[in-house]
Each structure stands twice: as C-alpha cells, then as structure tokens.
Structure 1
C-alpha cells in the first residue's frame, strides 16, 4: 500500500443506522472540500438493506463485459498489488478521487452496483470507502465487469455488476503466501487434507495504526485516529466424486474509525452538532455451503445455503447515536440444461429472510444528490428503535438460441418480489450476436432493471415506506475483433435512462421524484499478456455525458460522477523471468461541483453558505502517472516498488472554506509517493 492516509474512510454499511452514520462521517471529514461539492461528498451514501445475490455465468454474447485475469490485475501500477483496485482503469469507470476505488459505471453511482465473490454475498467490497479491497488478491482467478444491460441471471441493480471468481485451493502440498506493505499485511495458507479435500484461509490486517496515532486535518481541524481494518476468507473444498462437489465458505471484514472535532475548529463552527468525539465500527460475516452437480448431457446444478450477519455501532458528535444488526438467511438455486441442439437454458431463484434490529437517535438531514445544501445542525432530531422482518425473492429465466453459426439470440426475464415495500417487478432482458467473420462479432443488448432504495430512505421515522424501486433501461451496441499476436479491440455505444430516483420531501421525508440519463462510447484496445512477447496492457477511452433531473422542480444538472472524457493507458514490459516494469497514465475531465457564491446568517445566528448552480462548475482536469517495478528474487521471494503520481501533479478534490465562507483554497489529492512491498511464498 501507499503511505497515503485517506480522509474519506466511509465504509459500505447495510441499514439505515449505518447510512446515517456514513452521512455524518462524510460531513465530518470532508466538509471543507464538500462545501463546494455537497452533492458528491456530503449526501448520505445510498446504502441498501442487505441483499444476497448469486453469481452465474451469462450464456449471452459478451456485451458490455470486460474480463481480466487475476495475474494481469495484480501488477497494475498504482494499486500496490490490490487486484480489485485495478478495476478503476477499465472502460466506463469513474471514481470520486484518489482515496476511493469504489466505481461509478456509465452514469451510475457506486451504490448502484452489485458485487459477487465466488457465488456468494459480501457485506462490502472495499475497506474505508475504497482504500483497500476485502478480497485477498492472490485468490482472484478472474474479474468480470458488466457495465450495462447485464443478463437476467444477475439481480436487482441499475448500475453495473462486478463478478469475481476465486481459484480453488492447491492440492499438491501445504503452502502459503505472506505479503507485507506499508499500510498492512496479509497471509494465506492452503493445501490438501486428503485426495478429495483441500482448503485455504486468508487474513488481512492493517498495522499503520500501531505506528501512528492520529492525523490532523489543518483546514477543518478534525483529528482522525488512524483507521483500522481486517478481513478473512476461508474455503474448504470436498470433491465427493467426479460429478459432485461441496464447498464450505467463511468470509468476513471489519472497519473501525475514530475522530474528534474540536469545539473551536472550522468544522465545529460550520456544523456544531459534529463537535466532539466520534467512532464508527462496522463489519460483516458470511458462512455458506455450496453444492455443484454435473448430471451429464449438459445438465448442471448449483445450490447455495448460508447466512450473513452485518453489524454497525456509530456515534458522531451529538448528531448520531446508532446500533444495528442484520441477520439474513439465504437459499439460492441455479439449474442449467440444453433442451436441444443449439439451445442453452438457465433457470434460477432465491429466497432471503432478513431480520434487522436497530436503535437510532440522529439528525435526519434528508440529503440526496438533488439538494445542494446538506445541513445536520438545523435538521430535526429523530429517534427510532425497532426490529424489522422482511422476505425477498428473485427468479429468472434465460435462454440462448444459436440460430446459425453466425447468429445467436438471447432472451430472458427477471422477477423481483420485495416483501418489505410490497413491490413486484418483472423485467425483460435480451441480446443479439452476429459473428460476421471468425474474428469479428457485433452485439446488441437491452434490458430493464430495478433497485431497492437506500436503507435510510425506507426506515420508519427517517424515510418513507411507500417508495418505489429505482428503475433503469439499458441499451448497448458493440463490435469486437480479435487480431494477431494477442491484440484485440472493442467499441461500444450505450444509453441508460433512469427513473424514480429519490428526492427529499418536507412532509414524508422522501418521494420518487428524480430521473436521469447517460450515454457514451467506449474503446478498449488490449494486448493479452499470455499471447507471447514482452509487452502487454490496454488502452481504455470513454466519451460520455451523464445528467440528473429533479422532476418536481424541473431542474437538470450534471451527475456527480460526470467525467466526459476518461482515458487509461496501462503498459507492462516483462524484461526477464525476474524483472517486470509497468506504467499507468490516467486522465479524466474535472468532476463537477457546486460553487459557494456567498453566505448569510440564519435565524440561529450561524453563518451558512449560499450555493450557486447545482454542479454548475468543474474542477481542473485530472491526470496522473504511476510507475512500478517487480523483482522476483527467487520462487519464494518477490519485491515490488511503485512511484505514485510520478510527476507530482496537484490534482484537486475540491475546495476548503474558512468559517464564514469568505475565503477558499484548493484541496489536493495524492502527492508524489513511494510505495513498496514484499511477497514471501512457502
């Protein structure tokens, strides 16, 4: 890892208490910069009630699908070997700033995505809002990003699907890996139990908190204790016979953050309810068993049964006191078969039973991306304590017909049953593939999608239990071609239309009153690292436009993550078996922000900002060069070093303001940094 200590360590939480905590934490730690861009930084994260989803491989043509192997992702410069952080260099992916790897894909928010790891749910995919992933990088076999119009086998989301496939444990001998870097360390042990059974167990823990105590932000005055995180992943594989397999899974993660807002600090002056000591503790644990069966003649079955527990305890000044615990039991079924030659059918379903216990005492600021002003100090104090029970169900049907050698058609439908809000949705998905030559394929896909609202928006007292799901329609056209010597290219044009976004309402807290749209084109040129030769990498270029509209007021504005031009050039050169060098250059249009044009004194005598047009201005363009060198000393010992932001570009994340908003100064992101790590295999 790098030596950078992020100032945006909000974690992915799961219920309303966690969402309110995330909102207050974002305000507490990013207020100076967020004052200029409140929609992006101050609004509460769109956190959902826990959802359990199942991974399946789409039989459809690879429309809007980017596939990378774990080997090529692990050595991408600027990631410190964290496989999941490399996804930000894929086409159509935008991120908020250097401190976050949470992806906003093709005009959708990071919270609009679904994340799958080896067929099972994960509570959250990134620690501290994007600092490091919860997945052990050495276990990742393949990573797939479905940017739009994904098939019916995937669940309820209006954004994208990130599907991670982990490898099986080794079966030759007992062994392991130890990886030590600047911010943390991780370890993996694996091996056979007998001829039919094997296992792995991986654990990761930050240790920078053992070396440093606190970090003070000079602009806001916030004193942050160094964040702590840990996670684990375990798998026990039992090959019953050649056709049937059982696997037992145990995964979990936890994050802890403490900070203090001194009473005389700039932030305490701007938001008095945030003054004092604050602490956020969140974590999840999943245990499951998965049965894979192959019945021959193209018939296979996959069944998963398990439980996920999500916990959160949060306190933020006098603005929030909350505890919550969510217990979800899930059952998943997937059946695949070939009814006739040229036909592939997949059917699946899921049942989830959820219990959520929560106790919340918080300021209900009702912040969304449609309101520029997010003020906790003037918000009403609301208390809620209850135990909620809900059941959710999903079912899908997918069929692919290979009509001729050149033409294929995919049809499907996805049905959602929401037992909490009492909603049902049946949505069609379809795709067409034309292989004009053995190396050239044209694709088209279309689908309708829905998504449960953010957790805090549907909890009684804080939200509105009469909300509808968010809706989206995706359309994609693409062409891909494979060239000689491992080269390939793919060009896609897409459009997403969104509806039923949630906006604040003074009477019922929230209503479905927003919409949006995004459209763009993406080009990916790639050189496969397994095709021979010393050079590999890719160029990803995205041109897009993303807008939001408040349908109640009629006001339209740029999406928080609207970056019309995004470019990534990743190059890796393997000089020998021992040495490999890499470079990654990234560029994107400056992110939009809402300017502060003045100030006023409210009825309480507090100075409050006056905002200009929502997301009416942009930060300067962002660009950065990362360099990396890998040295394999022996089969057991490897080293890497990285130079992050090699030419010391001062990229801005926003602006900080003094207490009365009369002066501002730019807030820069990562400076030039040196990162290194040691990998030991045994």
Structure 2
C-alpha cells in the first residue's frame, strides 16, 4: 500500500499585523512594515505517513506556526492545531526541512511568522506494476480535459496551494497563485473531487467528464472561521518612538460599542480619557482635545468625528491602520503639546472590483474599489445619516424645543493611486464632510431670557490631497500637498459665529539609510490658514471656568480676515551604536505668525528617544523632549484674545518597558511626566496696541503638570481571538497664576480601565464585549446665587474650581455578529448593545433658575443598534 502526504501552505499576504513594531521610517510619513512580498516555498519535503493512521485509513490536518528568517530558512515550528495519530510529529519533521524564498517588508527581506497547514490525505496503494514495468515512455501527453478554480466562499479570494484530489483515480494537483488547477487524461465518467486546504472545510463534489470536451468548474471553499481579513504575524522591527500603539483595521471592525467604526476604538487605549456623553473628543493625558493632533497620512484633518462622536468622518473600510502616540513622539510631528492620532489609509485593491454596503439604525455607507488599468486603481466611499428622517415621524412637544433639522451628516472619499514604475507612487485623494443640526425654540421670551429663538449649527470641510512617494534603495522621498476649506457656523437666537477658512499644507520628507547602524530623516512642514470670521457672541469659556447665564456675558463682535502661518523644519538621526541599542536624537524648529502680531515667534524643540533590547522579548524605552503648541482658534485674535500670545511649552519625559513573549502577545508599560508652562489664561490687564490702551484679555500665565502610569496587555488578531486590557493612572493639575493653588484640569480622570475581547465561533458567529470604568470628571459646585436686577436672572457664585467630582462611570457593551456566506459575497448582521446593563452615566449637574436645587443629568440608557454589511 502506498500513501501520499499533501503539503499546503497558507500564506496570507494581505494581512493585518499582530503587534507589529514599525520600522524607523514610520513616523516620517512613510508606510511602516508593509508586506510587499510574501514568502514562497522553494523546497518541499514530503512527510512520512504515520503507520497507525495508514492502518486505519485516517486523514488529518496539522496547523502550525512557522518562523521564517530573512534568508528563507525555517527557524521554529510550533503546532497550533494538532491532529494526533502521529500526524503532528511527521508534519513538524518535514516542515523543519522546508526552504522558502524570503518575504519582503517594504521591499527588504525580513523575518515573518506564517500559519501553515499540512494536509494528510489517505490513498490506497496502487496495483502492482506489470512485469515489463507498465510504462510506455513514448506515449504522447494526454490533453487537459478537466480544469477549474478554487476560491474562498464569500470573498472570492483565490486559494493558493490548495490540493485538488481525484481520490478514485489517485490523481492530485495544487492550485496556482490564481487558484487555478488542471488535469490531463481524466477518464470519461463521473468522478469524486476533493479540495483540501488548511483552515478551510474539506470540499467534496462530483464532476462528469465527457468524451472530447473539457469540464470546467469553480469551487467555493468555506473557511472554518470566516473573516474578510487575514493574518500574518511579522517579527518585531526596530522602533524609534517611546510609546506607540498601532491598531489594524481588521482588529477593530467588530469591537462592541463602536458600530464598526475603527477610529472610535482609539478612545479605548491607555492615556485616553472617556469623553463626556461618549462623544467625539479625544482627551489624551489630561490635556484639552485642542492640544492633540489628528492626522490622515501625516497631514492634519480638521474633524475626526461627526456630531456627538456618532461616527468618524473617514470610512473605516478604507483604513489600513491607526497609529496612536500619547506623547514623546518624534520630531516629525509638531505644533501640539498633547498626543498624536495618525490615520493611515490603504491603497485600493487591484485584483478585481470590490464593494461594501452597510446599513444601521442611524446611517448607511458604501465603498467601491478596484483596478482601472494595470497601474491605476480607485476607491470611492460615501456615508449619509438618516436620523433626521426617523425623527420627522416622531410627534414633537408643544411646549419644548422643536426640531427643524435633526442631526444630519454625510461624508465622501475618493482615492486614485497610480504606480507608473516600481519606485514611484502617485496618490490623489479628495475628502468632504458636512454636519447640520437645527432647533426652533417656541418658549416665550420672558419665560427664560437666556434661551430664546433658534439654534443652528453647521460644520464641514473639503480637502484635495496630492502625494508622491519615491523609494529607490537607501533613499526615500515623500512629498505631500493639501488644499482645502473648513466651515464652522453657529447661530443661537441673535448670537452667531461663522468661520470660513482656506487651508494649505505642504510636507516634503526625505530619508537616507547610510548603513544598518545610521540613517537620517528630515523635512519641511508648512501650515497656513486664511480665515474669514464674523461673530456676535459671548467669549467662549476658558479651561476651568464654570458656565454662567448667557445674558450676563458681554457680546464680542468680529468681522474680518485672519491668517495663521506655521512653517517648520525638522531632522533626526537613527543610530545603533551597538546591537540592541537604538538612539534617536532629533530637533524641530517652529515659527508662528498671526494677523496683527507685533513680533514673530520661534521655538526650538530638541527631542531624544532611546530603546534597548535586553533580550529578544524584553525591551526598555525612554525619552525626553520639548514640545510647543501655538495659540489656537480664537486665542490669537484681537476681538477674542491676544495676537501677541506666546506658544505653550511642554517638557515631556517617559520611561517604560515592553515585553513580547510571542508575537501574538504584547505587554507595554510606561511612567510619564509632562511639565507645562506658558498656559493661556484670562487677563484683566491692559496693553498698548496701535498707541491705545486696550484689554489684554489673554496671557501666558499658567503652569501645569501631568504625570501617571499607562499599561497595555494586548492579544493581537489571530484566527479566532483578540482583545486587550488598558489601564491609566494619572493626575493632571494646573495653576492659573503665580501663588494660586493647584487645581485639576477639566478633563482629569484618575483611573481609566478598559477590557475588550472578541471571539469567533463556528458557523459564522462572533461574540465580543467591552467593559469600561473611569473616574468622574471634575466639577465646580455652586455655593449660592444672587439676583441681578438688570437682567432679572440669578447669578451663581462657586466653590474652588474643579473641587468635586462627578460619580464614576462604568459601562458594559456587547456585540454579536452572524456572517452569512454565499458563493460570491458575504453578509454580516450584527447587534451592538451599548450600556447593556442600563447604567446611564452622569454627565453633569443641572440647576434650577435660582440655583437652590440641583440634580444630575445623565447620558443615554441602554441602546441596541442593529445593522448589516454586505461585501463582494
């Protein structure tokens, strides 16, 4: 009896990274760790069929995890799904002798970890050969009369390396890179067909072969644990930043409470505080949301979320990953003292046309992408909410505010990628986003003089982005430009504010690798905003100022043009003096120019990051740097603030460690301290401007300190399980003038804990949960009030600023997905339950008209969201 063992290789090249450590060029706007070439099997060794299994005519599949070096050698083999009966030992012995053409990451040979399945298919021994050998060496080769293609059911991905077997005829073949197979000389008649591939259900069918005809077939083979994403675990690469977390789109499509919005997952990472009402603000390490920067492919984006944080303005289907840097980031980023969120968009798919359509209770979205020519590809995405359409059918109160236009938003993205040559990539990307909310108050004017008339809020932006990337050997050039406009319009009664700006960005970046030990990078960063502002509104409250009745505030009027211009230069060196040690000194020079400014401001920002690998799995990290943030929004204008304000300064320090015992598990911890000076505060002084004494309004008089501990334990995406636990212990304090007492920042949260897990079950089911806890936000209690005879309203007086806290927050979100697979498309139906045990969060304090009574006002109760997404 003769048996044959079949070897199947599952190389998942379009993969998501399980805890990838980016290369040194990541922060320079260069895509980090892109798998440009998967490993290819060049030498295959057939395993010995275990005698025990052969005697019982058993078959089996051994799934292994294989480490492949940058030379293509197999360095480690581990069985992840055993088959028993001697199959495991036989498969490991054979695979250890395999040889591969090495994988390439960013076009450079690199070590990778792959999932590999070895299939054992039992076949009866062939009949004995005749005495003359039974071989006619001169017979002509039979024609192809049976061919076909093996594809993954639901996605139509070609199955590479799948074995197609005709068991009764003892014939087999392996599919090519396009999933195709052929047989020659198959006898006329009906024959059993078997398709086997690790990680997939065995596919069995029958095919009829007719005389003189070629039978052609297409087989849709179902994955055991279906996911539209695939997994390659790449070995760790050198990193130059102190703290960085990269979230792949594949990992977060189904995290509970996010409705499949990748960008909302950022709010669950260490150092990020919970925003009020679960809204769209990003509060990183206790600072205000305006102190952190949100970037798309290295260029600023005006808004990250639509109204109230319902969903992000960039379609998650078009994302590759999100990079989160809470502090101590490289010289590539500037003009901010908080953290960095860099959204990395992916290139359109080029194998064929793909489409995705999603619907839920609040919105619908669609994406279409694919190739136009061999070198040109496209992607188009769009989204539109229909909360306004739903609420129109709801009866409205006769004595309350009536909705004229409910929250309504839309966004769209268009991307073209052209690769005329291997070294050149040209990208054109256009973005648009718009939000609108309108309320009509029917209350009589004398009932509540501070709320009367109408409320109308509109925000939006448009951007056109151009990019050219050049990679050739040691030199990498990345040039980006942006032209856009932003609109913010706010009307409440007779008060109004309208800001319409034209935005211009230019960012060329260069990197050169001199050797394995030394590389340099640098570039220019230019930001310009030209705004037209009209306003008749109260001055916005500053950090720490509790709200007061609107009628007691004086109105500020403005009607003019304002310019903000921020040119910068940056450079850094990546130096490896000894194995395991990486030293990255850098510097960034920034300038800030404003309309009506008397003196141009310049700052120098030296930075240093150090990493040292104690072992292959344990690394120490540390860094220090100077960061400046210019005045923002209305602060440097004459009507609202002071054009001669200086930049805020942050001295940031951080030390920590990272432990990665296996590529799937990652543990990171860091202790950080931020020393803040030049914080912008109210001023009651006057200054001389144009020969006249005028109010100073704002000045750089505050100082602050933020310190704490961050911990992340992460299980990266595999076939079935992923999740993480993040914890932040921090304190953020400030002093608004010399000699004043220290007080808490408005966004200080002492404890923030998040635990997330998602698990794939058989038959297309997936379950997940997210548990969150956060300390309550600081609040300033009212001690009493006095009646103002002029306005006939009560004016509160307060205790010490932020001297109390709201009750702590805790919430459980649960999500259940069911995927239905069809031959050429798949449908995901989900139920996402926010606040599953109906514990509405306390979001603030409301008072009656004379401040003699108060009560908490709360956020949303339990909120189930049902939706579906179809993809082809």
TM range (shorter): 0.7 to 0.9
User: Given the two structures, how large is their TM-score scaled by the length of structure 2?
Assistant: 0.69
Q: Which of these residues, 815, 826, 833, is aligned with residue 628 of structure 1?
A: 815
Q: Which of these residues, 299, 313, 333, is aligned with residue 475 of structure 2?
A: 299
1:129 positional shift: 4.0
Contact 2:773 2:808 (C-alpha < 8 Å) held by counterparts: yes
The residue that corresponds to 1:667 in the other structure is: 857
Q: Distance in 2 between matches of 1:509 and 1:629?
A: 53
For these two proteins, the number of residue pairs brought into alignment is 621
1:306 positional shift: 2.5
Contact 1:310 1:325 (C-alpha < 8 Å) held by counterparts: yes
Q: Which of these residues, 724, 732, 738, is aligned with residue 538 of structure 1?
A: 724
1:343 matched to 2:530? The reply is no
SS at match of 2:817: strand
Aligned residue runs from structure 1 range 196-275, under 5 A? 196-213=375-392, 222-224=401-403, 225-264=405-444, 269=448, 272-275=449-452
SS at match of 2:426: strand
Q: Distance in 2 between matches of 1:246 and 1:55?
A: 15
User: Given the two structures, how large is their TM-score scaled by the length of structure 1?
Assistant: 0.87
1:285 matched to 2:462? The reply is yes
1:108 positional shift: 1.3
Aligned residue runs from structure 1 range 166-181, under 5 A? 166-181=345-360
Contact 2:784 2:798 (C-alpha < 8 Å) held by counterparts: yes
The residue that corresponds to 1:309 in the other structure is: 485
The residue that corresponds to 1:487 in the other structure is: 665
For structure 1, the residue ranges without an aligned partner over 5 or more in a row are: 1-52
SS at match of 2:849: coil
1:448 positional shift: 0.9
Q: Which of these residues, 452, 455, 461, is aligned with residue 630 of structure 2?
A: 452
1:442-464 superposed Cα distances (whole Å, 9 cap, x missing partner): 00011111112121121222211
Q: Distance in 2 between matches of 1:577 and 1:445?
A: 48
1:103-140 superposed Cα distances (whole Å, 9 cap, x missing partner): 21112111111111123332211111422111101111
1:484 positional shift: 3.3
Q: Which of these residues, 120, 123, 126, is aligned with residue 302 of structure 2?
A: 123
Contact 2:242 2:610 (C-alpha < 8 Å) held by counterparts: no
Q: Distance in 1 between matches of 2:614 and 2:550?
A: 58
SS at match of 2:717: coil
Q: Distance in 2 between matches of 1:523 and 1:167?
A: 29
Q: Distance in 2 between matches of 1:91 and 1:659?
A: 40
Cα distance change of structure 1 residues 485 and 244 upon mapping to structure 2, 3 Å threshold: closer
1:373 positional shift: 4.6
1:599 positional shift: 1.4
1:339 positional shift: 2.7
For structure 2, the residue ranges without an aligned partner over 5 or more in a row are: 1-26, 33-237, 685-694
The residue that corresponds to 2:674 in the other structure is: 496
Q: Distance in 2 between matches of 1:577 and 1:62?
A: 42
Q: Distance in 2 between matches of 1:669 and 1:597?
A: 25
The residue that corresponds to 1:30 in the other structure is: none
1:98 positional shift: 3.2
The residue that corresponds to 2:561 in the other structure is: 387
SS at match of 2:277: coil
1:97 positional shift: 2.3
Q: Which of these residues, 571, 589, 602, is aligned with residue 757 of structure 2?
A: 571
Cα distance change of structure 1 residues 324 and 484 upon mapping to structure 2, 3 Å threshold: closer
The residue that corresponds to 2:710 in the other structure is: 522
Q: Distance in 1 between matches of 2:668 and 2:591?
A: 36
Larger radius of gyration: 2
1:223 positional shift: 4.3
1:260 positional shift: 3.2
The residue that corresponds to 2:63 in the other structure is: none
The residue that corresponds to 1:513 in the other structure is: 701
1:408-463 superposed Cα distances (whole Å, 9 cap, x missing partner): 11100011111224211111010111100011000001111111212112122221
SS at match of 1:170: coil
1:221-254 superposed Cα distances (whole Å, 9 cap, x missing partner): 5545421111111110000101101000101111
Q: Distance in 2 between matches of 1:458 and 1:275?
A: 31
1:78-111 superposed Cα distances (whole Å, 9 cap, x missing partner): 1111111111111111022233132211121111
Q: Which of these residues, 326, 339, 347, is aligned with residue 160 of structure 1?
A: 339
SS at match of 1:633: strand
Cα distance change of structure 1 residues 629 and 374 upon mapping to structure 2, 3 Å threshold: same
Q: Distance in 2 between matches of 1:129 and 1:553?
A: 38
RMSD: 2.2
The residue that corresponds to 2:740 in the other structure is: 554
Q: Distance in 1 between matches of 2:401 and 2:262?
A: 32
The residue that corresponds to 1:323 in the other structure is: 498
The residue that corresponds to 2:168 in the other structure is: none
1:562-597 superposed Cα distances (whole Å, 9 cap, x missing partner): 111111110111113611110110011121111112
The residue that corresponds to 2:101 in the other structure is: none
Q: Distance in 2 between matches of 1:214 and 1:361?
A: 35
1:313-338 superposed Cα distances (whole Å, 9 cap, x missing partner): 331112x2233321122221000001
1:640 matched to 2:830? The reply is yes
Q: Distance in 1 between matches of 2:784 and 2:394?
A: 31
Q: Distance in 2 between matches of 1:274 and 1:346?
A: 55
Contact 1:560 1:592 (C-alpha < 8 Å) held by counterparts: yes
Contact 1:60 1:431 (C-alpha < 8 Å) held by counterparts: no
Q: Distance in 2 between matches of 1:611 and 1:89?
A: 33
Q: Distance in 1 between matches of 2:528 and 2:623?
A: 33
Answer with 64-73 or 195-204: which moved more. Answer: 64-73
Aligned residue runs from structure 1 range 394-433, under 5 A? 394-420=568-594, 421=597, 422-433=600-611
Q: Which of these residues, 360, 367, 370, is aligned with residue 541 of structure 2?
A: 367
The residue that corresponds to 1:652 in the other structure is: 842
Instruction: Kindly indicate whether structure 1 or structure 2 has the higher relative contact order, using CA contacts under 8 Å at least 6 residues apart.
Output: 1
Q: Distance in 2 between matches of 1:587 and 1:233?
A: 35
1:389 positional shift: 3.7
Cα distance change of structure 1 residues 333 and 117 upon mapping to structure 2, 3 Å threshold: same
Q: Distance in 2 between matches of 1:54 and 1:256?
A: 36
Q: Which of these residues, 469, 472, 481, is aligned with residue 647 of structure 2?
A: 469
Q: Distance in 2 between matches of 1:620 and 1:384?
A: 40
Contact 2:286 2:749 (C-alpha < 8 Å) held by counterparts: no
Q: Distance in 1 between matches of 2:490 and 2:837?
A: 40
Contact 1:55 1:116 (C-alpha < 8 Å) held by counterparts: no
SS at match of 1:419: strand
SS at match of 2:762: coil
The residue that corresponds to 2:532 in the other structure is: 357
Contact 2:327 2:339 (C-alpha < 8 Å) held by counterparts: yes
Q: Distance in 1 between matches of 2:557 and 2:28?
A: 35
Aligned residue runs from structure 1 range 430-441, under 5 A? 430-441=608-619
Cα distance change of structure 1 residues 381 and 619 upon mapping to structure 2, 3 Å threshold: closer
Cα distance change of structure 1 residues 120 and 577 upon mapping to structure 2, 3 Å threshold: farther
SS at match of 1:188: strand
Cα distance change of structure 1 residues 325 and 234 upon mapping to structure 2, 3 Å threshold: same
Q: Distance in 2 between matches of 1:613 and 1:468?
A: 28
Q: Distance in 1 between matches of 2:443 and 2:698?
A: 32
Q: Distance in 1 between matches of 2:740 and 2:772?
A: 35
1:556 positional shift: 2.0
Q: Distance in 2 between matches of 1:71 and 1:333?
A: 30
Q: Distance in 2 between matches of 1:577 and 1:162?
A: 36
